[in-house]
Amino acid sequence: MTIGIILLAAGASTRFGGKPKQLITFNGVTLVRRAGEMALAAELGGPVVVVVGGNKDVVVPQLDGRPVRIIG
């Protein structure tokens, strides 16, 4: 059995003052990149799908080169 992973990264960060929460860094890595890498590292056999929305133009480049499917 294969299991896919869905990362929800579509928030517009309106309650965070408009700065995309997905781009906050922890130990030099953005949260969305870290989450993507962890999902891929799980190796569950299914796709890793990232749902983007409000900050798509700045979030998607954080996942460049990674075998994830972008929706949004």
| Helical (H) or strand (E) element with 33 | helix 31-41
26-53 confidence digits (pLDDT tens): 999 999 999 999 999 999 999 999 999 9
pLDDT of residue 17: 80
CB 5 within 8 A of CB 41: no
The DSSP code for 19 is S
Question: What pTM does this model have?
Answer: 0.89
Please give the radius of gyration of the chain, using alpha carbons only, rounded to the nearest integer: 12
Alpha carbon distance 59, 3 (integer Å): 24
pLDDT in the model for residue 4: 97
